[in-house]
Each structure stands twice: as structure tokens, then as C-alpha cells.
Structure 1
Amino acid sequence: MEKTLKRARRLRKEMSLPEVLLWKRLRGREAGKPVFRRQHPIGPYVLDFFCASARLCIEVDGGSHGFGQRPQGDRRRDIFLIDQGICTVRVAAREVLRDPEAVAGYLLNLAGSASPSTTSRSPSPARLAGEVL
């Protein structure tokens, strides 16, 4: 657990540009706005963004997520999170770069309208990208 916490702290300092752009729009604790944490450790994993009230994990996926062992690793991670009652939504980094406001708006709306009983499955990246566009 300590190893994961140290990694989370390091990752907060080394966020990618898409993560930074999204974090600027997700952060804050205004009334009625879902609260997100960045680089949140859970079990052996560090989640890019996490909304505890919605049990929602947001992962910003760059191009490397489609190659090598990454798809299998992402599936293992998603299964682990589902077992914890957490839904994972994957967002393409290129979509965040293209229109960070639209992506953040979609995610804030999703987290604001979600309840643990409605977030038991992860939408496919293609479906999410279609909804964000």
C-alpha cells in the first residue's frame, strides 16, 4: 500500500498534458459539483481521477493503451475496480486535447447523475468518444 501511495504522489507531480487540462476543469468543490480526486491510490492501482460519491474512475488513455500488454492490464484493472463497485470510464487523450471543456462537461454530468447502482459497467471507449463528440 505504501508503494502505491508513493507512486500516486509522484504521478501527481508528473501529470500528462491531457490530465492537467482535465484536472483544471474537474477540480473544485463548488456546491452541487461532484468532487474528484486526482491520482487516487486504490489497492495496487493509481486512478487518474476518482469521484467517490459516484464510484467513478476516469482514465485518460494515450496511444500506448492499445499496444503490447496494456489492453490486458487495463482489463485486469477494470475487473478489480468492478469488484470494488467502481465503474471505469476511459477517455482518449486526443479527445481531451481536442476539446477539454466538452470532455469535462460530460464527465461532470456523468458523475453528478451517477449512483453506485448505475455505474456497475464500463462504457466502451468508442461509445464514450461518440458521446463526447
Structure 2
Amino acid sequence: MPVGSYVADFLCANAMLIVEVDGSQHADSVHDGQRALALNALGFRVLRFWNDEVLREMNAVCDTIIAYAADKSLEPWR
């Protein structure tokens, strides 16, 4: 989903929430940090999950996304 000059993996516009699913190439990525700051400046919260988290812990990932979509006061932990 296009958001400004970026493309989000998943977007919930009502919750102003972007969900990114990342591989190991994103570990310690300066670009991802800058991207998150730019998206935050547009009013979005950015949740990031590793590919293996999604594959191994799908229910927990979905529960987390639902919680963040329902409660706009929650802030991402990474």
C-alpha cells in the first residue's frame, strides 16, 4: 500500500497502523529507522515482525496486530 513515498506491507488506515514483515536483511537497518520516523511524522504507528515470527507464531502476531488496531495509545516496541 503506498504511503507517502513508501510502500507499506500492510496498512489499517482507520487505526493509522502499518504492519511490516521483515527478513534478516532488515536487522539494524538505518533506512528502516528513517522510514519509520517519516511514517510516524505522517501520524502512523509502525509494527514490525520478523518473517519467522509470522511463520511460527501466527496467532500471537495476529493478536498483537488486533490489540494495536483497537488501542491507538499502544506504541510499537521496536
Same fold (TM over 0.5): yes
RMSD, aligned α-carbons: 1.5
Displaced runs of 4 or more, over 6 A: none
Deviation at 1:122, TM superposition (A): 3.4
Q: Does 1:123 align with 2:52?
A: no
Q: Which runs of 5+ in 2 are unaligned?
A: none
Deviation at 1:105, TM superposition (A): 1.8
What TM-score do you get using the length of structure 2 for normalisation?
A: 0.87
Q: 104-113 or 40-49: which moved more? A: 104-113
Greater share of residues in strand: 2
Greater share of residues in helix: 1
Q: Which runs of 5+ in 1 are unaligned?
A: 1-39, 125-133
Q: Which residue of 1 aligns with 2:4?
A: 43
Secondary structure of the corresponding residue to residue 49 of structure 2: strand
Which structure would you say has the larger Rg? 1
Identity of paired residues, percent?
Answer: 35
Q: Does 1:89 align with 2:47?
A: yes
What TM-score do you get using the length of structure 1 for normalisation?
A: 0.54
In 2, distance between residues paired with 1:102 and 1:123? 15
Deviation at 1:54, TM superposition (A): 1.1
